Amino acid sequence: MLSGVTRCAIGVLLLLLTSTGAWAQATAQMSGTIRDESGLVLPGVTVTVLQVDTGFTRSVVTNESGAYALPNLPLGPYRLEMSLAGFQTYAQTGLVLQVGDAPVINAVLRVSQLEEAVTVEAAIPLVDFRSPSIGRVIDSQEVQSLPLEARNPTQLIVLAGAAVDTGTPSSRSMTASRAIVVTGGQPFGVAYTLDGAVHNNAFDGLNLPLPFPDALQEFRVETSSQNAQSGVHAAGTVSAVTKSGTNRFSGNVFEFARHHRFNATAPFAARNPRTGERVSDGLVRNQFGGTLGGPLVRDRLFFFGAYQGTRATQTPADIITFVPTAAMLAGDFTQFASAQCVSRGAVALRPPFVNNRIDPALLSPAAVNIARRLPTTTDPCGRITYSRKTRPREGQSIARMDYQLTRDQSLFGRYMLTTTFWKPPFEETGNMLASTLGGRDSSAHSLALGHTAVLGNTTVNSLRLTVNRTDVHRTHADYLGPQDVGVNTYSYPGRVMLLTVTGGFALGTGTEIDSYYRPNTYAVSDDLTLVRGNHQWGLGASVGVSDWKALSNVRSSGTFSFNGGATGLGLADFLIGDVFEYRQGTPFLMDISQKSFGVYAQDTWKLAPRVTLNYGVRWEPWFPQEHRSGAIYNFDANRFRAGQRSRVYPQAPPGFTYPGDEGFAGKAGMDADWANLQPRVGMAWDARGDGRTSVRAAYAMNGDFISGGFFFDMARVPPFDQEERLTRPAVGRLDDPWGGIGRTNPYPVTLRPDMPFSTGVAYMSVPQDLDTTRVHSWNVGVQQQLGANMAVSASYLGNYLMNAWGDVTGNPATFPGSPTGPCTLNTVTGPRTYANCSQAPINLRREVSQANPAVGEYIGYLDWFTDEGWQRYHGLMLSFQRRAANGLSANANYTVSTCEGLLVNQGAGPTNPGTGYLRPVSILNPPTDREAAFEADKGPCTASPTHIFNLTASVESPQFDNRTIRLLASGWRLSGIFRASSGMALTITTGLDRALNGVLTTVQRVDQVGNDPYGQRTRNNWFNPSAFAQPALGGFGNSTRNGYEGPGRRNLDLSLARAFPVGGTRRVEARVDALNAFNWFRWGDPITNFADANFGRILTAEDPRIMQFALNFYF
């Protein structure tokens, strides 16, 4: 541990540097070597670049090796000029720098005593001789011309290859954010920058909204072995740049419209009972706005502004669920339990029920009241298709200023605001099934300021300041309170009731109840570039502070779960009111902050004329999150055995410590990791010496820091929250879950430090010495330029993710005998014998309870975090690029990969107790070798399909000389995106508690008893039910985590546009987009819950063909 004086010195040094870690920059650079005709190097050559659009210029002089470097150049088109007395002046045009580009442009000057110049037009090389990472630029032409769903450029990130969009993240995130997995990494493992400033959401680790296509210049995606400038996240980097003003006033006005009349209907949409045709989703959407940029002072001061608004109405009718039928309400389950309705075969209701009938007098009055408020169906299986009508309103505003203060200094500022709003769908439809989605009233603010200074011929400094603020606000509508139907519980948020039925319906969702999540980020970064001889040094550091406040009502209304464990069918359990689990908590407030900084040094060394070495190191200590409210704790088994209680919270069970207790680490409960050094090294070789064949290899070690919400659920415990979990058999019926077990409903409660702790609490303990996650990545690749505008490449990508965090059940329920045999358990009143041990309350069977029954009743789950997760990824990526020329551009890549590992936190949000590793590892008596317990969870990675293929292309018709042909055939553009991938990895879960050890059923896996687990691979029979069986009570299934593959994906989006010149540079563009142009039936994943009546069936699908029409006026 460092002393306080040392820490102070480091802090002062960093502040004096006014620096924060340079994440990726929004600039490019040029470098090269100048020689004479005999091949000798030429020192003293003046090299000048001119940015054509803005008049920006910069000059350097070649050194004694004839080398020059121009770092930190703004993006855009350039003219390059080289001059030396006694030689011809050499000029090159047609150079367009994109984000992250580092072209090597060499030149030969001829001897001449005359003042003459030679000018050539040539684009930058397509092969890379400097960067250690594998990446691709999505340029402005692709951003604007390719068809995009919701005009969200984030969709294009996966086109870089070896990447998967795992879908819309949790309701704690902005709707434009995406959880993208790159080369088998973690969903929060991608670092985003916008204009060189950090652009990640501090709470979930995902991207903040990117600018809409007309305001986005371009972005670069890097997927492997980033240089030492990159930190915090390890899987990849996305560096995006907003558009800027130029010396010419320009902009556009646009309107994009969709209407359901032109769209195909969803494959699972309800049918019109009169016509039999599927009902459309009623989609009407308009996206409108414009951009304007230009000079305020020519060559000095520029502005750019943009706005996009979205107004939509949609009633998607593709949600399938199952509700009680009239027959079920009369106690008749014969039809619902038949093979016609149950995919795994006919089910017989368990005793005491016979012939699949239940005496109506045994039905729960509350359940019947709820069922009568649900939509009715004539389907004998209770199948119903419903919609959740929404009217989203979104807006995005962007303003940017660029100021060339002097020839050697420039400033910029950019502000962006994104807003999202819609009412809860229940307010639109009145259908209680629509209560599973709430409303939104969210915003994201992003401010970036930058200063670049040229400090002489060989030194450039770049400073960035970032302020990001996000407010994700979920809203709900009052749709049904417990008292409305005769349920004796209390709901804090109002008339809200949460209920889920396996194989049936759901009411409400805890993650859609009124809550807010407000992360803020403040950061400063500084990068210093020094060119010294054949070396280009990069030095920089980072200082940042993130804080986030959140109010959650996820469990404050109470949640009922029915899993079919009593009768064999979830809907039957519901109607008789037999609850599997009831959870209730109080509203929970979280207040967290986290500090960070990183310092790096790197060198790009021209080791030989054809060899460049890139090496460096990043020091990035990890500081744990500080819980300013003190809502954090540790558990120590030795303190538990000794009966030692907290001095801060004496009512807490023995073994727990809190901020303020002796030995507790501040308000974090964890030690900082100061020894976090991350080496990076890469090499590039001009294999043939002609600047057309590049061989590159690189290695990097990165830290991959967890997202801010990771610890969110662990603090939902007394005294910060009062949550109770009642599980069968220690839970009453639906009508009165408390009174049914002889207890009084304890809610509402008032939280206070000296309050008694509730029983059966789910704790999650964090060891004080957890290691931070690290990723070792490496790549080897070959690039070959073909002609002037084409290139191909082959790259091997590998990485090893180690010390991944996950949670393991540390307080398992045990069996002193066989699971179904008799057992004697320790209780508060003395030993008690149960004829069937599995029928004993689960919390009574837990290890802590048996060790100390008086304390054990207060502790249910006692999970603990481990850093023993890992993943290995190996991939081969083949790429093809055709730069835009003669009206044609194309990019394609194919990735084949393998990825396996132990379970890691695959979400961008928090972890829940009982959802981690399958096999418990006792927190009281941990084994010396824990690998055997974790080995059961080894399997394929969750989000890494074996095959991924991407293709984007755009073709434009030429300007014909013949007037008639020109009127008919010129100005057309056809663009498209094609993507295909193999299926995602799936886990078959029991859906029932077979292990009986406290691990949730969403983790427990089935036995595979047949050789072929797949059925006909159709939407009604993807899996073969007869190939699986529930494991024996008290046992674990033999099936592999992520051992099965879902349906593959394919999609083709097309865009057809025609431009009409209207004088000068003005033009009108008419455009038609077809998303899923061929209307392919793109299946979702099948039901993987083996206890679900629809196991193996596919009940969801991606959107059908959607048409979009647009008009765009450019000036």
CATH number at 111 reads 2.60.40.1120
Residue 4: what pLDDT? Answer: 47
Statement: residue 2 has pLDDT above 60: no
More confident residue, 248 or 711: 248
pLDDT for residue 831 is more than 80? yes
What are the E-state strand segments in 533-640?
535-552, 559-562, 581-584, 588-608, 611-619, 626-627, 634-635
Q: Minimum mean pLDDT among 298-307, 485-494, 918-927, 1091-1100: which range?
A: 918-927
pLDDT of residue 24: 44
In a domain, 1066, yes or no: yes
Tell me: pLDDT of 909 over 80.
no
Q: Report the pLDDT averaged over residues 964-982.
A: 95
Residues 6+ apart with CB under 8 A from 697: 682, 683, 778, 779, 780, 781
Q: Quick check: bond before 729 cis, omega within 30?
A: yes
The residue-averaged pLDDT of 803-818 equals 87
Residue 841: the pLDDT is: 87
Q: What is the pLDDT of residue 3?
A: 46
Q: Is cis: bond before 211, omega within 30 of 0?
A: no
Taking alpha carbons only, the member of 1105, 1107, 1102, 1108 closest to residue 318 is 1102
Determine what percent of the chain is predicted with pLDDT higher than 70.
Answer: 96
Give the model's confidence band at 907: pLDDT under 50 very low, under 70 low, under 90 confident, else very high. Answer: low
Q: CA angle at residue 977 from 974 to 978, to 5 degrees?
A: 125
| pLDDT, greater one: 428 or 893 | 893
Examine residue 1079 and state whether it is found in any structural domain, yes or no.
yes
pLDDT at 17: 35
Return the pLDDT at 85: 87
Residue 1096 covered by a domain: yes
Among 72, 92, 121, the domain boundary falls at: 121
pTM: 0.89
pLDDT of residue 348: 92
**Exposed / middle / buried, residue 394 (Cβ in 10 Å: 0-12, 13-18, 19+):** buried
Q: Which band of pLDDT confidence, cut at 50, 70 and 90, is reported for residue 616? A: very high
Q: Is residue 220 part of a domain?
A: no
Unique residue bearing structure tokens 């690029």: 881
What pLDDT shows up at residue 344? 78
Q: According to the model, what pLDDT value does residue 904 have?
A: 61
pLDDT tier for residue 113 given thresholds of 50, 70 and 90: low
626 inside domain: no
Torsion, CA 846, CA 847, CA 851, CA 855, rounded to 10: -50
Residue of 322, 250, 231 lying closest to 291 (CA atoms)? 250
Mean pLDDT (whole number) for 364-381: 94
pLDDT at 19 over 60: no
Lowest mean pLDDT among 19-23, 37-41, 672-676: 19-23
Residue 811 confidence (pLDDT): 92
Range with the poorest average pLDDT among 65-69, 346-350, 813-817: 813-817
Backbone angles phi, psi at 484, to 5 degrees: -65, -25
Q: Is the pLDDT of residue 12 over 50?
A: no
Query: Distance between CA 261 and CA 8 in Å, rounded?
Result: 66
The count of structural domains within the chain is: 2
Q: What is the mean pLDDT of residues 1051-1078?
A: 96
Residue 436 backbone dihedrals phi, psi, to 5 degrees = -70, -10
Average pLDDT, the chain: 90
Distance between first and last Cα of the chain = 61
Q: Which of 121, 151, 181 is the last residue of a domain?
A: 121
Which residues form the domain of 1061? 982-1114
- Whether the predicted pLDDT of 170 surpasses 90: no
- Does residue 215 sit in helix, strand or coil? helix
Q: Where are the beta strands (DSSP E) in 298-330?
A: 301-313, 319-322
Q: Is the pLDDT of residue 20 over 80?
A: no
Does some domain include residue 663?
no
Please answer whether residues 571 and 501 qualify as being in contact, where contact means their C-beta atoms are separated by less than 8 angstroms: yes
Residue 32 within any structural domain of the chain: yes
Instruction: State the amino acid at position 670 in one-letter form.
Output: M
Residue 978 confidence (pLDDT) above 50: yes
Cα radius of gyration (the chain)? 31
Nearest to 1055 by CA among 142, 75, 70: 142
Q: 1010 lies in a domain?
A: yes
Is a pLDDT exceeding 90 seen at residue 1115? yes
Which amino acid would we find at residue 837?
C
Residue partners of 789: CB distance under 8 A and separation at least 6: 123, 126, 882, 883, 884, 885
The pLDDT, as a whole number, for residue 255 is: 98
**DSSP character for 624?**
P
Residues near 520 by beta carbon (within 8 Å), at least 6 away in sequence? 202, 467, 468, 469, 470, 546, 547, 548
More confident residue, 912 or 1062: 1062
Residue 172, pLDDT score: 85
Chain segment 310-321, per-residue pLDDT in tens: 999 987 666 889
Please provide the DSSP assignment of 859-883 as one string. EEEEEEEEEEEEEEEEEEEEEEEEE
Over residues 721-762, the pLDDT tens digits come to 888 888 888 899 999 999 889 889 989 988 888 888 888 888
Report the pLDDT value the prediction gives residue 712, as an integer from 0 to 100: 75
| Helices and strands counted in the chain (H then E) | 11, 57
Domain boundary among 64, 86, 121: 121
Q: Which residues of 767-778 are buried (b: 16+ CB within 10 A; e: fewer)?
A: bbebebbbbbbb
pLDDT for 456:
87
Residues 209/728, Cβ–Cβ less than 8 Å: no
What are the CA-CA distances from residue 106 to residues 258, 318, 613, 1095 (Å)? 50, 59, 18, 63
SS3 content of the chain, % helix, strand, coil (to 5): 10, 45, 45
